[in-house]
Amino acid sequence: MGLFGKLFEKKECSVCGGEIGLLGNRKLEDGNLCKNCAAKLSPWFSDRRQSTVAEIQEQLAYREANQEKVSAFHPTRILGERTKMLMDEDSGLFMVTSARNWDEANPDVLAFSDVTGCKLDIDESKTEIEYKDKDGERKSFNPRRYAYSYNFYIVINVNNPYFSEIRFQLNSSAVDNDEETLLDGPEAMRRPRGGMRGGFGGMRGGSLTSNAEEVRASVEYRQYEEMGREIRDALLQVRQQAREEAAAAVAPKAAVTCPFCGATTTPDASGCCEFCGGAVNG
């Protein structure tokens, strides 16, 4: 069979057995996956091509069980704007999603104890500010001038058999003070896109070179920086609490003297005397 014959050859999903359309095949290490089955995988999963059919079947079973966790999830704290981190502090669980319909999106529900790390990642990029000469050609300033922009990401490292990182963006558009990067001429003052002409925070000796400090001092930059720190600190705090509680649960219990009956006792799970039932631990 020639190249075109193979291209139009009907394929079958190795997981559900359904027929795969012309543009619907998702290759696996040892088989094929239809787009419907692929859509059920975790949004944080990225190793599909290196996965076997058996591994995909295992993940789909995990995702089906996760649906029940989503239904039982009751958020007590919500952080973020477009993509949110939702915490069920009573159950020690969290999830990250931008979806409004949780049952349809089926976001992964993870335990606080699954978290191994969390950080705020601020991505900085710069674009050269140029001007148009009398012939309409783009020219560089001397020295070159740059407009800076920033994007804010939360990176959560987790213990999970199907992914090790959750990375999501806090801001919906770059934080850049709406800087204009193509001016009408070499003497034109910088101006925000669609805004009024103004000064430039990176001006040195009358020659603007960078607006990085100005953007970092803006209300919008500080807003997302604070939001990121709040999410990071909140998650690291509950992770630490979960670890301390787990350590306390397996720690050997010391014998104490019951203040009620005077017996030497090892308190039960409720902190009560094993002989008289009195509250030994407060």
Rounded distance, CA 159 to CA 97, Å? 18
* pLDDT recorded at residue 43: 96
pLDDT band at 282 (very low <50, low <70, confident <90, very high): low
Q: Are strands 26-27 and 32-33 parallel, antiparallel or unpaired?
A: antiparallel
Q: Which residue has the tokens 């902190």?
A: 271
Residue 235: how many CB atoms within 10 A of its CB? 20
The CA dihedral of 102, 158, 244, 234, to the nearest 10 degrees, is -60
* Amino acid letter for position 229: R
What SS3 state is found at 145? strand
Rounded distance, CA 154 to CA 97, Å? 13
Contact 133, 140 (CB under 8 A): no
* SS3 letters across 31-43: CEECHHHHCCCCC
Contact 177, 196 (CB under 8 A): no
Phi, psi for residue 222 in degrees, rounded to 5: -65, -35
* pLDDT recorded at residue 247: 83
Contact 48, 41 (CB under 8 A): yes
pLDDT band at 97 (very low <50, low <70, confident <90, very high): very high
Q: Where are the domains of the chain?
A: 1-72, 115-243, 252-282
Give bridge partners of residue 150 from the DSSP assignment: 124, 175
pLDDT band at 248 (very low <50, low <70, confident <90, very high): confident
pLDDT in tens, 14-39: 999 998 877 778 899 999 999 999 99
Phi, psi for residue 215 in degrees, rounded to 5: -65, -40
Residue 172: how many CB atoms within 10 A of its CB? 9
Q: Are strands 203-204 and 93-97 parallel, antiparallel or unpaired?
A: unpaired
| Mean pLDDT across the chain | 89
* pLDDT recorded at residue 8: 61
Find out whether the peptide bond into 143 is cis, omega within 30 degrees of 0. yes
* pLDDT recorded at residue 87: 98
Contact 172, 82 (CB under 8 A): yes
Contact 22, 4 (CB under 8 A): no
